[in-house]
Chains A and B, each alone.
Chain A
Amino acid sequence: MSAHEGSREGYDFAHPLPLPLLFGVFVVLTLLTVLTVFQANFDLGSYDIIVVMIIATIKAVLVGSIFMHLAFDKPMNVIWFLGSFVFVGLFIMFTLFDNRASQGDDIPVTNDAVMAAPAEG
């Protein structure tokens, strides 16, 4: 609620982001997409998923902070949004802790044999 020079309180609160910033973010996002496609050509073993998630998270932070204005937003909105990811983390982590507890088949599918190739000659 900061008052601006020569304007009424609660009016003229818009802060348009500079166009070069928006375009720069778009270019960086595109480059990161190219990078993530490119890295898929290399066998990074089990680090693969970590690398991919780090790149995706950098992109998500860029989109969130600039495109969604979170970097310039009221702290309450940031808390709400980031708070949701805390619960997503808890949800997925605790489910994964448990995922070896039940062994055997939990997804009943019948007629599951591989279709044998018919002899065509």
Chain B
Amino acid sequence: MATTDAGHSATADHSADSHGHDHDHPSYLAHHFDTPEQQFDSGKLGMWIFLVTEVLFFSGMFCAYAIYRSWRPDVFEGCSQFLNTKLGAINTGVLLFSSFTMAWAVRASQLEQHKKTAALIASTLCCAMIFLGVKAIEYSHKWTMGLLPAGLFTYDPSNPHPVGGPNYLAYICAPFAVATVGIFIWLVVSFLRGAKFQFECAKPILVVFLCFFVGVGLGTILESGGSESHGTEHAAHVEGGEHDSHAEGEHAGEGEHAAESHEQEAATEETAEAAPTEAIAGLVAPGTMVSSDNELDVIKRLAADTTNTGLQGELAARQAQNDMANGAITYHVYDDVSATVAAAEENVMRKSRAGVFFSIYYCMTGVHAIHILAGIGVLIWLLVRALRQDFNKNYFGPVDYVGLYWHLVDLIWIYLFPLMYLIR
């Protein structure tokens, strides 16, 4: 917001007087504003309008959520069991705390407490990194299990933890590790060259990046911390999940060992799970219900007679079976076929059921995580400016605006958390 040289010279060309007012114009006040308050209010209105576009942008995803949940509430109940409530709750707390430190940072910058402002912005950044670290554990755990968006969904109830997949956690951590090493090198170089300000900047930023790995550690501990809190129906799957996270948390060498022990467990689980799974798999073999049936035409002709209610019911039942076999999301509702396959409880762990749930899940939480990443970028810029002591009681706009953005990201998570993690 500082007056640029270009702006100055342009105005100076028009009238020499404009420089005469410069004793009135502090360095932080842009030339086209009369007072700092006017500058602050204009910036704030602009920020609010940007936040409005953010709200509308996220509403598209909430709408997709609302539609699919109203279509298939059972899918949401089933799939929500795969989301770890403990990790979600911890992340909510971390984000709320970061909102608190951010609001406090705005206060500190208004009171011109420069060191406090920088420290509070750094704590906000640390919380953001812990959030991402926990998220990395959640994502890598689900990817290993094949709980992916619809097109990639490969989850197999009888083998929830396939061995030999890529180590997703390492891939997620790699960019952060590279950045951390880079910042450490920057810290050392700036120290050796005696660049004091750079050294002062690099110190908190290094701590911030190390916090990502604190988050990863926290997530690992919580993920492996017992399965009591999960729903009983899916206890078998979730329990398996806990075992796998042990393998992830420890070193790669031990991973195979844990996977081996799990396979024995899978064999015992199978007796319980295989029977219903196979029964449903037999029913939904695609296309076989209607197309290969020679009697169907006869039935259709006989059912054209409105008095022939029995055959109409049978036709409706076949239609329902066919819809289901083709993976339909919604069915025609037939009153008189309540005892047929349409009324039977179906396995939701399929591409067109759980797959779509996880598409929505990754879309919403992923876009939210991208917003966290963007927030981290802006907050680092803010941290450097706070260390430079740019802000004062008449110029704290940037802290306030970034704070507004950060609170909005928190606000979205406040809705996302119960809608995703707390469905029973």
By a beta-carbon cutoff of 8 Å, the part of chain A in contact with chain B is 1, 8-17, 19, 22-23, 25-26, 29-30, 33, 36-37, 40-41, 43, 48, 52-53, 55-56, 59-60, 63-64, 66-69, 73-74, 76-77, 80-81, 83-85, 87-88, 91-92, 95-96, 99-100, 103-118, 120-121
Contact = CB atoms under 8 A, between A and B. Distances in A.
Contacts of B55: 81, 84-85, 88
Interface of B: 34-38, 40-41, 44-45, 48-49, 51-52, 55-56, 59-60, 62-63, 66-67, 70-71, 85, 89, 92-93, 96-97, 99-100, 102-104, 106-107, 110-111, 150, 156-159, 266-267, 270, 273-274, 277-278, 280-281, 284-286, 323, 326-332, 347, 349-352, 355-356, 393-394, 396, 400, 403-404, 407-408, 410-411, 414-415, 417-419, 422-424
A80 B66 CA distance: 24
A13 B40 contact: yes
A33 B96 contact: yes
B332 A113 contact: no
B326 to A, nearest CB: 6
B328 A104 contact: yes
Greatest chain B CB density within 10 A among A59, A64, A84, A113 is at A113
Contacts of A63: 99, 407, 410-411, 414
Contacts of A15: 110
Given A26-B99, A74-B44, A117-B159, 8 more contacts: A10-B34, A26-B100, A48-B423, A77-B44, A77-B48, A87-B56, A105-B323, A114-B157
11 contacts: A17-B106, A33-B89, A68-B404, A81-B52, A84-B52, A92-B62, A96-B66, A103-B332, A105-B326, A107-B352, A114-B349
Given A36-B418, A84-B55, A26 B36 contact: no
A11 B34 CA distance: 10
A114 B347 contact: yes
B422 A37 contact: yes
A120 B104 contact: no
Contacts of B71: 99
A77 B404 CA distance: 12
A16 B112 CA distance: 11
Contact of B45 (A43, A77, A109): A77
A13 B111 CA distance: 12
Contacts of B51: 81, 84
B352 A114 contact: no
A1 B67 contact: no
Given A26-B96, A77-B45, A117 B273 contact: yes
A85 B56 CA distance: 8
Nearest to A23: B100
B158 A117 contact: yes
Nearest to B284: A113
Contacts of A74: 41, 44-45
A10 B40 CA distance: 10
B277 A117 contact: yes
Contact of B67 (A88, A99, A103): A99
A14 B424 contact: no
B284 A17 contact: no
Contacts of B328: 104-105
Q: Which 3 A-B pairs have the closest CB atoms?
A: A10-B35, A117-B158, A26-B100
Given A12-B394, A13-B40, A22-B103, A104 B407 contact: no
A1 B286 CA distance: 70
A60 B96 CA distance: 11
Contact of B350 (A80, A91, A114, A121): A114
Contact of A48 (B36, B410, B424): B424
Contacts of A109: 150, 327, 351-352, 355
A60 B414 contact: yes
Contacts of B418: 36, 40, 52-53, 55-56
Which of A13, A30, A108 counts the most chain B CB atoms within 10 A? A13
Contact of A52 (B38, B331, B404, B422): B422
B411 to A, nearest CB: 5
A106 B159 CA distance: 29
